[in-house]
Amino acid sequence: MVISGTTRLLGIIGDPVRHSLSPRMQNRALAAAGLDYVYLPFPVAPARLSEAVAGFRAVGIHGFNVTVPHKVAIAPLLDRLSPEAEQIGAVNTVHNEHGRLVGYNTDGVGLVVSLREELGFDPNGAHLLVIGAGGAARAALHALCAAGAGRVIIINRTTDRAKELVERYGLLFPSTRLEFRETLPQALPDIDLLLNTTVVGMDGISLSADPEALADTAVVYDMIYAPSLTPLLGAAQRRSLRCVNGLGMLAAQGERAFTIWTGLAPPRGLMKATLEEA
Ligand code: ATR
């Protein structure tokens, strides 16, 4: 890649951001597509977020990704939000559109693409069990409901957050039946997809949900990708259930961001392959 006077700037802001795989995956795709952009990591402390956004405006950044802990806090600093970002209440992609910073959320759509491509799973009419009610769950559920999910049960350590999510999305998506539960039901014969959106399993914390209770045809998705085989996925594999980790979602949200910034589709499969290598 040759950086010149015309190279456009992309990047990611987070705190920390050094472990992010996005710079590697985006630069690889940009180079393969022959595009004159560079994508850099920007560690930004929460107290300096508004300064960072002002700086990005001043230098005319073309676009950037937003990661933990800025996804919610950045929304009021932008000029406009897409309907999805507005409804989810979080932004993971920003595009500079003629000087106006527009916030998008590609996380949920990334999940739905990953479910379709990797598991052949279509959320339309499906019954889902979602573990967690944080930012990741909000983005995921939004896209799943928009894709026509029939029924969703949400379980979260803090039940009030699950309840809040049920109320909020119940109004937005009247054709999806949303419920929250205090504890995991013993038997889950009607569940088509078990989705973990929490960090449980990241460092070997005990299982939050037991695939034993699922039907043989159910699929399991764990948004965690490090470790690549979480205890939840291990248990699903022992049951011979179709299951994947969150790497495909990470790639698909990045592909969607790439398209927002460049107007082009990235080289097919390259982002996922780059993540697998990393
Ligand atoms: P994110 O944006 O990644 O979703 P978040 O908004 O902090 O981050 O949400 C983290 C999710 O993981 C929440 O559902 C959280 O449960 P609480 O709402 O009760 O906090 C869940 N979580 C985090 N640590 C957990 C743990 N040790 N056991 C169970 N759930 C946990």
Residue 269 CB: number of other CB atoms within 10 A? 11
Q: Is 139 helix (H, G, I), strand (E, B) or coil?
A: helix
Q: Is 158 in the pocket of ligand 1 (CB under 6 A)?
A: yes
Rounded CA gap, 254 and 103, in Å?
A: 14
Rounded CA gap, 222 and 207, in Å?
A: 11
Q: Is 92 in the pocket of ligand 1 (CB under 6 A)?
A: no
User: Out of 28, 62, 70, 71, which one is annotated catalytic?
Assistant: 71
The separation between CA 63 and the C-alpha centre of its own chain, rounded to angstroms, equals 18
Say what the pLDDT of residue 205 is. 44
Rounded CA gap, 14 and 65, in Å?
A: 9
Contact 19, 41 (CB under 8 A): no
Does 204 score more than 50 pLDDT? no
Q: How confident is the model at residue 202 (pLDDT cuts 50, 70, 90)?
A: low
Q: Is 66 in the pocket of ligand 1 (CB under 6 A)?
A: no
Q: What tens digit of pLDDT does each residue of 150-186 get? A: 999 999 989 999 999 999 999 999 999 999 998 877 7
Residue 265: φ, ψ to 5°: -80, 135
In this prediction the pTM is: 0.94
Tell me the best of 142, 198, 205, 225 to mutate to test the pocket of ligand 1, counting ligand atoms within 8 Å of each CB and taking the most: 198
Q: How far apart are the first and last CA of the chain?
A: 20
